[in-house]
A and B are shown apart, each in its own frame.
Chain A
Amino acid sequence: MNTKGNVWIFIEQEGGKIADVSLELVCKGTELAKQLGLVSEAVILGDKLDGKFDSLFHYGCETVYQVEDKALEPFTVLPYAQALVKLLKQHKPNILMFGATLKGRELGPRVASEMMCGLTADCTDLQIDDFEDKVNKAIYKDKLMQIRPAFGGNIIATIVNTWEDPQMVTVREGVMKLTAPDTSKKGKVVKVTPELSDETKVMKVIKRVRKPKTVDLKKASIIVAGGYGVGTKENFKLIEQLAEALGGQVAASRAAVDAGWINHDYQVGQTGVTVRPKLYIACGISGSVQHVAGMNESAKIIAINNDPGAPIFSVAHYGIVGELNDVVPKLIKAFKAKV
């Protein structure tokens, strides 16, 4: 029914484990594909990937392109880019999505440049709509609206790629929701041998050190976050005590991470993790747009700050103007008394 290519998702894997963001994109990609009368397809690159990607079908993919070569494990950008560009030229997908991870943000631009395509970084929403280019008097049907924060998070821009497909985006982790997987669903596997040129194999990985993440904020249903207003590293223990009492997870704003009170894995916001817990308690966080972008979809937000003018109060459901040293122990005491 259509001459368009499909909706493609670049699947990021590390040691055969698929990144959460890739599954989130499969869900979003499948939704967009339905709107366009297309299907979603995934492309996974690496070595020895058999049996590692059934979940892609469960979340909605019809096809998985399984691209294998020794040079594709571990990730280096040149062979990845070449293998991907070859497939794109052959299949001409309508849309191509990457996670806005370190890998996605390194690979995406290289591929877009070679394809002479636009690429929009760090999208937080994607929609389908028509676009009228008033300057050039052209109308584009069913284009991908690529919605992203810019200017330090102070504006939200909607961007459209008007040249040839694919319409390429990187998408922030945690912003697209996972739909319920259908574990009975199966799909087609297309095995691809990329025939990489020697020029792509010039970079050597001499050493690789990875520590598993110490925390997964995205899975926490209660988050207690501390900001610069906490004041000292010593005082940050209050935040930990409240989190522990409520059965929640500690997190922080960038200011608290920069101050050295807690490590970057715990950072919520534009340069950290995007979260949407049942309850988010912001302690001594002023509420910069960068921080708010990472937490304002929380179901309930409590803000505690001694400055009644702090912007965090404008996104909070409950506001407490007061000193943390006074308010936090009261919260712990009240909760312990009630449960």
Chain B
Amino acid sequence: MKRQLMVFVKQVPDTKNISGEAMTPEGTVNRAALPAIFNPEDLNALELGLQLKERHNFKVTVATMGPPNAAEVLRECLYRGADEAILITDRAFAGADTLATSYALSCCVKTVGNVDLILCGRQAIDGDTAQVGPQIAEKLNIPQIAYVEEVISLSDKAVKAKRAIEGGYEILESPLPALLTVIDANEPRSASAKCIMKYKKAKTRSEIHKLMRDADYTDAQALADKENEMKAKNLWIHEWDAAKIQADVNRIGLKGSPTKVKKIENVVLKADKVVSIEPTEAGINGLIRELIEDHTLG
């Protein structure tokens, strides 16, 4: 049997490139208007996973937790060379903080079974916490290496990785299984045209059912046949709920989250009275004089 590694990915709102349309008239961000993208550092994690697949003949299984349309990032993974994809989706997961999220993802790893290496992006750009990776490792009681730039070597029993530390780098060796969080230190490959042709048809159960409902085709046997056909063609994206991963309902979603959000405030850049200085010699001399007089300069 092939050795297996898992990559966790996330679909996130594009918080870094906020265009005019995503701003409200009050100068705050309209979150609903932001496009959904593949979390950037998760692409780095996927790239590392795919490199290890090429070097060591791993099977690469990708997984994401999110709403049904998060299947899109899983297809993006298949386009780049991932072998199998799992969408972890259930209303019961909603409102999860990092503790509840990492618990659910650790249940997914256990359900998959026989995973040698887990890769995550360091952090997602919507929350920027960098907590879920280390917390999955703790839940599975395995070592973690955070901020990985590259894997130096990988044997049956151990991984040696270069990772960032304050003001430099470190080479760490850890026994397997282990979890690595990956930073923006490789060049993620683009989707391959051949894989797009094949995997654009890859679907989750909900997506298949929706397609068939739209075609007015709801016979149970027909649905089952279609599912089997997709599985046989390797176009099946697993769709797992809380029961499938045997998650304790008290430890997921809002219920499993110790942190509560008390309030959210939009950042509005304060519009204080800015003194306009003419870009002329006189204007600039005046500014410098003022700054020297109030002891800011000199």
- The answer to whether A119 touches B131, judged by C-beta atoms less than 8 angstroms apart, is yes
Q: Decide: B97 and A118 in contact? CB cutoff 8 A.
A: yes
Number of A residues whose C-beta is below 8 Å from B? 89
Q: Is the CB of B261 within 8 A of A118?
A: no
Q: Closest residue to A159 on the B side, CB-wise?
A: B259
Task: Tell me which residues across on chain B come within 8 A of A63, comparing CB atoms.
Answer: none
> Are B172 and A113 in touch, CB under 8 angstroms?
no
Q: How far is the CA of A115 from the CA of B257 in the complex (A)?
A: 13
Q: Does chain B have a CB within 8 A of A190?
A: no
B287 touches A314 (CB 8 A): no
Q: Hey, which chain B residues are within 8 Å of A106, CB to CB? A: 130, 134, 144, 146-147
A157:B261 contact, CB within 8 angstroms: yes
B138 located at the interface, meaning its Cβ lies under 8 Å from any Cβ of chain A in the complex:
yes
> B167 near A206 (CB under 8 angstroms)?
no
Task: Tell me the bound Cα distance from A207 to B18 in angstroms.
Answer: 41
1/0 per position for A250-292, CB-CB distance to B under 8 A? 0000000000000000000010000000110000000101001
Given A14-B166, A150-B128, A213-B167, the answer on whether A159 and B267 have CB atoms closer than 8 Å is no
Chain B residues lying within 8 Å of A163, measured Cβ to Cβ, are 258
Whether B297 is near chain A, meaning CB under 8 Å from some CB there, is yes
CB of A327 closer than 8 Å to a CB of B: yes
A131 touches B144 (CB 8 A): no
Q: In the assembled complex, which residues on chain A have CB atoms less than 8 Å from the CB atom of B26? A: none
Contact status of A110 and B137, CB under 8 A, knowing A118-B99, A152-B18, A207-B170: yes
- CB–CB A319/B277 < 8 A: yes
- Is A160 interfacial (CB 8 A cutoff)? yes
Q: Which residues of A contact B279 (CB under 8 A)?
A: 320-323, 326-327, 330
- How many Å from the CB of A222 to the closest CB on chain B? 7
- 6 closest A-B pairs by beta carbon, nearest first, are A152-B15, A322-B279, A118-B258, A163-B258, A118-B259, A210-B168
15 A-B residue pairings within 8 Å (CB atoms):
A77-B143, A122-B129, A155-B267, A156-B267, A160-B259, A162-B259, A209-B169, A210-B165, A222-B297, A278-B296, A302-B287, A319-B275, A320-B277, A338-B288, A338-B298
Give A contacts to B, CB under 8 Å. Answer: 14, 76-78, 81, 101-103, 105-106, 108-110, 112-114, 116-122, 131, 133, 145-146, 149-163, 202-213, 222, 246, 270, 278-279, 287, 289, 292, 296, 299-300, 302-303, 311, 313-323, 326-327, 330-331, 333-335, 337-339
